[in-house]
Amino acid sequence: MVSSRRGDFLCLILLSIVLYFPGLGARDLWAPVEPRYGEIVRVMSARGEWLVPTINGELYTDKPILYFWLVLIGAKIMGSVSEWSVRLPSALSALGLVLATYALGRDFLGGRAGFFGAIILATTARVFWEGRWAHTDMLFTLLFTLSLYFWARANFQRGAPREFLLAYGLMGLATLTKGFIGVVLPGLICLCYVALRRDWRSIFSWRLPAGAVIFFLVTVPWFGAVTLATDGRWLEEFVIVHHIQRYTSGAGHEQPFYYYLANFPADLLPWTPFLVSAIAACPPARARLKEPIPLFLCVWFGAIFIFFSLSDTKRALYLLPLFPPVALAIGCYFDALTRSDVAQGAIYRWMAYFLFGVFLLGSISLPIGAWYFQRELVWLSVPAALAMAGGGLAGMAAVWRRRPVTVFFAVAATVSLTMLWASLRILPFIDRYKSPRPFAFEVKKLVPKAEPLYIYADAMNDFNFYTEREAIPVVSSPAEVEKLTARGVPVYLLIRERDLKAIGMIEKISFLAKAPVGGKKWNLVRLG
């Protein structure tokens, strides 16, 4: 049993390394978030700053400090702040999340269900993308999942009672990563579970006083220090703008209440069809939910889904913390199929045929689409097309022969090979159209370091990072541009083509450079 678990861990580590690490720094930082995080850490590294994050000369109050600390440590080890170092915490967190999901499934649902669930999690579209993207959400999801894992081990007596204390410490780290949601979400899930079980007395076993001490020991030192260093401004903006206003008034990401009903199935691909068949094959929900572990996992999913659906601010990546229980549910379904505990019914077969049919269709349409829209991509698309064709044919044969294990690994292998090829070749190819780095290097060469550089109506921070300018002031109206030209000294301005007509004054503009960046035409001009 021990050797089997060790083998599972090694296989999952190898899969995660293949999925998340090759070509991690092969493409530039893509707006809006990646350049922002990179610039925050670049400035912190240049200043020797470890306490107060800033961006473009302003206080950054959107997220706490832990992710930036990890990037900064990695940059110190590797010698510079680079695309690789900025994304490394996400890739490591994705690896950790895969292993945490396996441990959760192994301890509560069985080793094979946990192994299947971890592979499912690793190869979902959202987890793969976030594992290779500079966001705080993957790190947060890892810490959040580990906190619930250790809480469940202690609460369901699968581990020692002291593991409650470890859960509180992880909640503190999650709070240092993304804010008070790091303790609110786990607390909400645990309380909802207790309420549904009507087991309020169990709360007295949670070691709350000691847990509160540990949580505050983890969080208060930095929160207190940054509050003192900024005269309370950081904490005030963090709470009011990025917690209260973001939850209640949209804060730039306002979406309708049904937003996640459409986004979540897409983010769960390619495993969404099997979630449908798993739900259809599930025994009566009421009887199943009398069991503690299924109820806990359902509450985990439901509490997060409802909590974020009620918020005015919605983003697809916010649902990342509910992927472990969903992946384990599908893993349990495949485990039941392999043991013949669940029949390979019509819904399962047709869902599988549909998925593998999509793979075959994609293998044909991918090179054809590349030929019509971007012929340089045709040869780059061929390996991905071959992987999809092979997976589609092998999967259909496995469904026909009623071999669910082969069906499972046909999906996982097809997605893994396609994702790996996309990471190594396709995304770096797209990078030439999305990245501002070549243009930024030209700007850096043309504009003397001592001369002021402004940018018109943009706050993506990619030019800050690649020109290595701590501050590029933003001007947002023609009147502000007029004030700059009235000074009687040359002023350098980055401006998009579409905004040139808005500001007028074409006769006062000297065009120094231009380039397309992310579908927009940018100009470097000198005013006056």
User: Does 180 fall in a domain?
Assistant: yes
CA max distance for the chain = 82
pLDDT for residue 71 is more than 80: yes
DSSP class of residue 124 equals S
Q: How many structural domains is the chain composed of?
A: 3
User: Does 313 fall in a domain?
Assistant: no
User: Does 326 fall in a domain?
Assistant: no
Cα separation, 206 vs 190, whole angstroms: 10
* Domain end position, chosen among 373, 402, 434: 434
Place 449 in a pLDDT band, splitting at 50, 70 and 90: confident
User: Does 256 fall in a domain?
Assistant: no
Cis amide leading into 32 (omega within 30): yes
pLDDT at 250: 54
**355 and 442 both lie in a single domain:** no
DSSP class of residue 284 equals P
What helix, strand, coil percent values describe the chain, rounded to 5? 70, 5, 25
Name the more confident of 288 and 268: 268
Q: Can you spell out the DSSP letters for 12-67?
A: HHHHHHHHHSTTTTSSPPPTTHHHHHHHHHHHHHHHT-SS--EETTEE--SS-SHH
**419 and 486 both lie in a single domain:** no
pLDDT for residue 498 is more than 90: no
User: Does 181 fall in a domain?
Assistant: yes
User: Does 320 fall in a domain?
Assistant: no
The DSSP element (H or E) to which 510 belongs, if any, is strand 509-517
Of 191-195, 258-262, 376-380, 504-508, the poorest mean pLDDT is in 504-508
Q: Taking the CB of residue 57, how many other CB atoms lie within 10 A of it?
A: 12
Terminal CA-to-CA distance of the chain, rounded, Å? 76
Handedness of CA 369, 373, 375, 377 (dihedral sign): negative
Cα separation, 441 vs 465, whole angstroms: 10
- Of 187, 192, 189, 89, give the one whose Cα is nearest residue 142: 89
**450 and 428 both lie in a single domain:** no
pLDDT at 489: 78
Express each pLDDT in 458-489 by its tens digit. Answer: 878 899 999 999 999 999 888 888 888 877 77
**218 and 193 both lie in a single domain:** yes
User: Does 288 fall in a domain?
Assistant: no
pLDDT for residue 252 is more than 70: no
Residue 479 burial class via C-beta count within 10 angstroms: exposed 0-12, middle 13-18, buried 19 and up: exposed
**201 and 56 both lie in a single domain:** yes
User: Does 201 fall in a domain?
Assistant: yes
pLDDT for residue 2 is more than 60: no
**356 and 501 both lie in a single domain:** no
* Domain end position, chosen among 224, 250, 276: 250
The SS3 call for residue 453 is: strand
Express each pLDDT in 186-234 by its tens digit. Answer: 999 999 999 999 989 999 999 999 999 999 999 999 999 999 999 999 9
* Domain end position, chosen among 250, 284, 309: 250
Of 52-66, 307-321, 392-406, the poorest mean pLDDT is in 307-321
Place 380 in a pLDDT band, splitting at 50, 70 and 90: confident
The DSSP element (H or E) to which 340 belongs, if any, is none
Cis amide leading into 209 (omega within 30): no
* Residues linked to residue 524 through DSSP beta bridges, in sequence order: 494, 513
**408 and 464 both lie in a single domain:** no
pTM of the prediction? 0.94
**60 and 195 both lie in a single domain:** yes
pLDDT for residue 11 is more than 60: yes
CA-only gyration radius of the chain, Å: 25
Name the more confident of 414 and 459: 414
Range of the domain at 498: 437-527
What residues contact 107, with CB distance under 8 A and at least 6 apart?
Answer: 114, 149, 153, 158
**481 and 381 both lie in a single domain:** no
* Residues linked to residue 513 through DSSP beta bridges, in sequence order: 524
**408 and 466 both lie in a single domain:** no
Cα separation, 104 vs 463, whole angstroms: 43
Most confident of 22-26, 78-82, 122-126, 378-382: 122-126
HEC secondary structure over 456-499: ECCCCCHHHHHHCCCCCCEECCHHHHHHHHCCCCCEEEEEEHHH
Instruction: Report phi then psi at 226, rounded to 5.
Output: -70, -30
**121 and 196 both lie in a single domain:** yes
**474 and 364 both lie in a single domain:** no
pLDDT at 285: 54
Cα separation, 242 vs 251, whole angstroms: 8
